[in-house]
Amino acid sequence: MIKFSMGGKALDPRDLKDAVMASVLEGVREQIRDKLGNIRDPDTGEFPTIVIRGDSFDDLKIQVEGSPALVALVNERLGGETMGEPEGATNPNPRVFLSYTSDDEEIARRVAEALERAGIEVWWDKWCIAAGDSLRRKIDEGIGGCKHFLVLLTPRSINKPWVNQEMDAGLVRKLNDQCRFLPIRHELPASELPPLLSGIASASIAADTDIHQLINDIYGVTRRPPRGPALATVQSGQAVKTGYSPAANAIARYFVEGTQDALFGDPMLDVDELAKAVGLSVEDTEDAIHELSGFLRLSNDHVLVEGALFAEFDRYWMPWNTADDALRLAADIMSDPKFPDPSEEIAKLYQWQPRRLNSTAYYLLERSLIVDYQGIGTAPWAVFRIVGNQNMRRFVKSRS
């Protein structure tokens, strides 16, 4: 019988694929920590703290912590890409380039004027090209500055060379994530679209209500009907600035306040139960769970909370700041060679309940600052020993 092992541990052949993927993922995590964790601020000597969340390559997220100067240095070494920062707010006045053929001027004018009345800046040749202007240069400027490329497709425009050239430019910008490509149809069935456009949703413009929906789509307004006032948990989430949506805040708060010991899967419930508990639709709950990937995990429709959620969100709804607790504990471990390492003794020393110490342990674990002493049957403790390593020494030194 053929036997398999990895890291000295026997493997069931049926689990070989998952074990290999987990090993590869852990190798990637270590490379990221090594390459980014070795960057040092030449003026202060500070090292960054690297946080990696996610259980697969699809949801892997990297967060760099440190002073603004150090984070800027890390970004510079990475080629200028900013890591872990939320996208900026959308432009309240979107810019749209309208491509059409002169044979459809009447319907194009209706669309352009409706968008302008709705606060959307429209590049339309009738408004933006004056006598003596270079057609090519003006059109290039219009396409290059737009955030939404809107093309009016009709039986008359679908084969026009000029319209197709503008569509080519719009599609290139879409592929480079520089704009949204919005085809709209008038008197043209979707079945007659060219293959390249058949995979893109294209609205039919026949009435004013269709143009109104186009405006909503440009602004990103939901198509769902109006919803009544949210529960108090969601309303309070709107006031807390965590960097996440109010729905995600409501779910995070539910777990923070509902856990007993801040352990993995505590509490555990399915999506429908969670949606009911926080007063959201199932769809909004699923979107918020996706937003909180790395903090929550779905398994057989059950929502499993990760310890990282408590480490991240306790500071908003609990009477302590886990980051401050972690720095205090790390400093005490580094300064006292006789500092106890059993979790139970540390909790007694600080007069903390398991709930608070576990959150701190997860914070340190997630940053690879302590040895991983997790195990089965260690409840109510997330780890049964808390022992620092060289990363902890640099962590304390950089933040002292």
pLDDT of residue 233: 54
| Strand pairing report for 180-185 and 203-204 | parallel
pLDDT of residue 175: 82
Beta bridge partners of 302: 270, 299
pLDDT of residue 367: 92
pTM > 0.85: yes or no: no
Question: What gap in Å lies between CA 86 and CA 212, rounded to an integer?
Answer: 30
Question: What gap in Å lies between CA 122 and CA 111, rounded to an integer?
Answer: 10
pLDDT of residue 15: 59
**Three-state DSSP state, 63:** strand
The third-level CATH classification (topology) of the domain covering 232-313 is: Arc Repressor Mutant, subunit A (1.10.10)
95-206 belongs to which CATH class?
Answer: alpha beta
pLDDT of residue 239: 64
Q: Three-state secondary structure along 99-117? A: ECCHHHHHHHHHHHHHHHH
| Residue that has been written with the tokens 């002292």 in this structure | 400
Contact 54, 29 (CB under 8 A): no
pLDDT of residue 130: 87
- Mention every residue, 6+ apart, whose C-beta is less than 8 A from residue 6: 19, 20, 23
- Mention every residue, 6+ apart, whose C-beta is less than 8 A from residue 395: 47, 49, 327, 330, 367, 369
List C-alpha distances in Å: 237 to 19, 245, 317: 39, 8, 10
Write down how long the chain is. Answer: 400
List C-alpha distances in Å: 397 to 44, 71, 74, 334: 10, 17, 19, 10
pLDDT of residue 36: 79
- Exposure of 325 by Cβ count < 10 A (0-12 exposed, 13-18 middle, 19+ buried)? buried
Sign of the four-CA dihedral 20, 25, 31, 33: negative
Please give the backbone phi and psi of residue 152, each rounded to the nearest 5 degrees, phi first.
Answer: -90, 110
CATH assignment of 320-399, among 2.60.40, 1.25.40, 1.10.3470, 1.10.10? 1.10.10
Please give the backbone phi and psi of residue 150, each rounded to the nearest 5 degrees, phi first.
Answer: -110, 120
pLDDT of residue 220: 78
**Three-state DSSP state, 387:** coil
Contact 105, 78 (CB under 8 A): no
Sign of the four-CA dihedral 214, 219, 223, 228: negative
Question: What gap in Å lies between CA 139 and CA 125, rounded to an integer?
Answer: 8
- Domain boundaries of the chain, sorted by first residue: 4-77, 95-206, 232-313, 320-399
- Exposure of 388 by Cβ count < 10 A (0-12 exposed, 13-18 middle, 19+ buried)? buried
List C-alpha distances in Å: 394 to 36, 106, 368: 14, 68, 12
Q: What are the residue ranges in the chain where pLDDT is below 70? A: 1-25, 56-60, 78-92, 222-239
- CATH fold match for the domains 232-313 and 320-399: yes
